[in-house]
Amino acid sequence: MDLGIQGKACSTVNEGNTALAVKSGGLNVFATPSVAALMEEACYESIGNLLDEDQTTVGVSISVKHIAATKIGKKVYADSVLTHVEGNRLTFEVTAYDEDKKIAFGTHERVIVDTESFLNRLN
C-alpha cells in the first residue's frame, strides 16, 4: 500500500446527523460523531479497491479535534491521506471542511482484515 493515497467523502448536514439527533449534545449542528464517521468514510473508500476481494478494513482508533460548528443545510467534506503503513495497520491524516471553513482535523487508524475470519470470530 503506497503512502499518500487520498480519499474524500461528502455529506450535507441534516436533522439526522446533528448533535441533538445522535445525542452527543443539545444543538442542531453537525455532530462530532458525524464528523468522525465522515472522516472514516474517506479513509475506507480511499483504499477499498486496493484490497483483495476477501479483505476489508476496520477502524480501530480515531483522534479528532472538532474546531468549528456547521449548521443544517451546509455541505461538509472530509479528506484523508495515508501517512503510515505498518503490516496490516494503516494510519491516515484526516481533515473536514464545510462550505466556508475547516471544521475538524486528526488521525485515524484502520486495520486490514480477512472478512470471513473477522466475522467468524464474532460467533
DSSP string covering 101-122, please?
A: SEEEEEEEEEEEEEHHHHHHTT
Number of domains into which the chain is organized: 1
The predicted structure's pLDDT at residue 59? 98
The predicted structure's pLDDT at residue 1? 86
Lookup: cell for 105? 482535523
Q: What is the DSSP letter of 95?
A: E
Q: Is the pTM of this model over 0.85?
A: yes
The predicted structure's pLDDT at residue 50? 96
pLDDT 10s per residue in the chain (123 long)?
899 999 999 999 999 999 999 999 999 999 999 999 999 999 999 999 999 999 999 999 999 999 999 999 999 999 999 999 999 999 999 999 999 999 999 999 999 999 999 999 997
Does residue 106 lie within any of the structural domains?
yes
Does residue 49 lie within any of the structural domains?
yes
Does residue 110 lie within any of the structural domains?
yes
Residues 18-40 as b/e (b if ≥16 CB within 10 A, e otherwise) read bbeeeeeeeeebbbbbbbbbbbb
Residue ranges making up the domain that contains 102: 6-120
Does residue 51 lie within any of the structural domains?
yes
Does residue 1 lie within any of the structural domains?
no
Domain containing 111 — which CATH number?
A: 3.10.129.10
